[in-house]
Structure 1
Amino acid sequence: MTTIVLVPGAMHGAWVFDPLLAALSERGVTAVAVDLPSSSDDTATIGSLTDDVDAIRAAVARIEGPVVLAAHSYGGVPARAAAGTIESVRGLVMIAAFALPVGVSLLDAQGGQFPPGYERSADGRGVKIGDIAETIYSGVDPAIVEKALPRVQWQSVESFTQPAPAEPGPDVTITTVITTDDKALPADQQRQWAESSDAQVSVASGHSPHASHPDAVADAIADTVRRVDATTS
């Protein structure tokens, strides 16, 4: 049986996937969500991209059988690295996610500097997006946004500056979920990265389709599981 490991984006934890976990459960898909060390309330102990890859690796190690990683936004960077280095990872779903080439950092992809509106922590080790309700949560039910905003954490600067260390091999089945109304990651950039994917799914959503369109994302993940199962049975 294939298991899904959900990987959150910057400044968020496993909690962000609660609507998606419910939708996957309704489809009979087994899934767990992980927290990434690079997102924390405490910038003194905040982790790096390397730590995030290790956290995904640890989550996968606890699972028997094939795994599909489903990653949102920044989470695509450590998820792609994990998919390229862990044999049991057979599939990858990129949800409005950064598909960076090896050697390129997230900050590189943003022109070498943090976009306007980013807030820096007092010690300089963490950042937050100031207009997160308008960019990350565009199109999401206001009630969900109201509950989410107090839970947003600092994201380590190091996770932005470390280059992507690895990428999936040809045996990993990749699905890209493209968010066509995205205010944080332009759809055209997502489409460019998706050219090498095995499947593409477009959702008329902002940057957080797992919150605004969980059924559509769950369908894309379930379809990826079916394709992975067909190759491993």
Structure 2
Amino acid sequence: MNPTVVLVHGAMHTPWIFDPLRERLTARGIASRAVQLPSSDPDSAAAQGLTEDVDVVRAEIAAVGGPVVLAAHSYGGVPATWAAAEAGQVAELVYLAAFALEAGTSMMEWMGGDFPPTWIHSPDGLAVKAGDAEESIFSGVDPALTAQAVERLNWQGTRAFTEKLGAAPTGVPMSYVVATEDPALPPAVQEEWAARAAHVLRVPSGHSPHLSHTDDVAGLLAEAVARAAAQE
């Protein structure tokens, strides 16, 4: 069975953000799925946390019924890391300018205990949203695509940031896409995480390489799928 790529979006996003990448994968004959994380929701009161995100990723992996290349962007790296630690189907874990935290760490701890000053807090205090998404998340992305992406951003539940990562895989091969011009997640930090990866791709991208350098990312994922298929 050919491996399936399971895509995990970042904070505030929806699976729509991967549509251009999935088109490239389909053109290469690669099956893909994209989850909707429950921590991202149009209703701030409905936005959930990391543990619910992990459950959704874990269920999506199980639903494939075969080997999976698990690819995550930004915050999505946190639930993907946890799910990969518990799912034997994950043949490779791919970080797309994503957080590769150590087990026992939370996003809030990594951020130094507070949200970026440009972020907006929901009136109920249960969720946040980036107030400068055009510059921080979508720098270098086509302006028309950026406008569509910003319009689709949801509230992100604060528990996604305060809950600690429960587990990290030890035997799963890892690849990392370093966005060398990322204003949101420092490239130097990405390089530290990428040092643990078996395969590294560096692209002159902002925080969304899957949108600004879609073909490059699709190529890396195709290589991961080929490696996973060779192991079957």
User: Runs of 4+ in structure 1 displaced over 6 angstroms?
Assistant: none
Deviations along 1:1-29, whole A, 9 cap, x unmatched?
10010000000010000110011111111
Instruction: Give, in whole Å, the separation in 2 of the partners of 1:130 and 1:65.
Output: 39
Aligned residue runs from structure 1 range 36-47, under 5 A: 36-47=37-48
Instruction: Give, in whole Å, the separation in 1 of the partners of 2:148 and 2:78.
Output: 26
The answer for the alignment partner of 2:176 in structure 1 is 176
Normalized against structure 1, the TM-score is what? Answer: 0.97
Structure 1 unaligned blocks of 5 or more: none
How many percent of aligned residue pairs carry the same amino acid?
A: 49
Measured after TM superposition, the shift of residue 231 of structure 1 is: 2.1
How many residues get paired? 231
Normalized against structure 2, the TM-score is what? Answer: 0.98
The AA in structure 2 aligned to 1:199 is: H
Contact 1:43/1:154 (CA < 8 Å) preserved in 2?
A: yes
SS at match of 2:76: helix
The answer for the alignment partner of 1:214 in structure 2 is 214
The answer for the alignment partner of 1:68 in structure 2 is 69
The answer for the alignment partner of 1:56 in structure 2 is 57
Instruction: Give, in whole Å, the separation in 1 of the partners of 2:229 and 2:173.
Output: 11
Instruction: Give, in whole Å, the separation in 2 of the partners of 1:205 and 1:35.
Output: 24
Contact 1:83/1:90 (CA < 8 Å) preserved in 2?
A: no
The AA in structure 2 aligned to 1:188 is: A
Contact 1:39/1:46 (CA < 8 Å) preserved in 2?
A: yes
Instruction: Give, in whole Å, the separation in 2 of the partners of 1:230 and 1:187.
Output: 32
Instruction: Give, in whole Å, the separation in 1 of the partners of 2:17 and 2:224.
Output: 21
1:185 matched to 2:196: no
Instruction: Give, in whole Å, the separation in 1 of the partners of 2:9 and 2:157.
Output: 14
Deviations along 1:45-83, whole A, 9 cap, x unmatched?
211100000001111121121011100000000000000
Structure 2 unaligned blocks of 5 or more: none
Contact 1:120/1:126 (CA < 8 Å) preserved in 2?
A: yes
SS at match of 2:175: strand
The AA in structure 2 aligned to 1:90 is: A
